[in-house]
Amino acid sequence: MRKLHPDKNKANPERMEAAFAKPDVEDIADRITNAVMEHRLPPGIKLAEERLASAFGVSRTKIRQALTMLSREGLVKLFPNRGAFVTSPTVQEALDLFATRRLIEPEIVRNAIARSDKADLKRLRAHLAAEEDARKRGDRRTIIKLSGAFHMLLAEVAGNSFIEKLMAELCPLTCLIISLYDAPQTPACPENEHVQIVDAIEQVIGELGIAGIGRLGCRRVFGRRRCVAKARGHGQRGCEEQRAEDETTG
């Protein structure tokens, strides 16, 4: 699996020269992934090779290679004689994804507590500052992308390259599921949870705290898993009822 760089296209002086060069296949795949994470490309939309080739200023061969790469990661579906489409996860796929995140995210936090250093914590704090800035500006697309990127950064800090690659695949798919099954304007994660996770890691908590922070980091994941399940039978109303239940049970 490809390692995703959610901030790869963020403007900075070091990339000014590269910005004038034609993107390579991985650059194209990263930009499409970021567009999905920002909800600029919704589930089920067709990704026309000719239009993408024109937009990126590259050949259709490069676009085809990038779409093939994304199809291996589950973010794009390829259909003979029809083309490429952004994946539209089924209810069962959504439930399976959240079950997977429920298994691995406590381990990510445990590893981050054991392995993170001051530089890692500084990176996490800088990311939290970027999230707060996006919230103040009301930039929902950036908020959504940064929320997913936080979990990928946390996986990177945790130091397990296999889990890091897995989270780079799961987080964009999570954004698609949120787009499909969550209520409009619902925050990707509660505003204070990422701060609380980093606070707990910074304090180098013991075993009891590790168990608690594992639940904290996954609370919204658990709630969305039940929300998707209820949506199967009750539509959007079921999701709203589940969120109210989650807030009550905390």
Domain count of the chain? 2
Task: Read off the pLDDT of each residue in 67-79 and give the average, rounded to a whole number.
Answer: 95
Q: What is the pLDDT of residue 113?
A: 87
Name the more confident of 117 and 13: 117
Q: Which domain holds residue 48?
A: 13-86
Domain boundary (28, 63, 86) is at: 86
Name the more confident of 215 and 109: 109
Of 4-8, 15-19, 21-25, 128-132, the range with the highest mean pLDDT is 128-132
Indicate whether 211 and 133 sit together in one domain: yes
Q: Pick the closest to residue 222 from 201, 198, 249 (CA basis).
A: 249
Name the more confident of 231 and 66: 66
Indicate whether 211 and 163 sit together in one domain: yes
Indicate whether 100 and 214 sit together in one domain: yes
Name the more confident of 248 and 44: 44
Structure tokens at 121: 């914590």
CB contact at 8 A, 218 and 101: yes
Q: What is the pLDDT of residue 208?
A: 43
- b/e 82-99 (16+ beta carbons within 10 angstroms → b): eebbbbebeeebbbebbe
Q: How far apart are CA 190 and CA 211, in angstroms?
A: 19
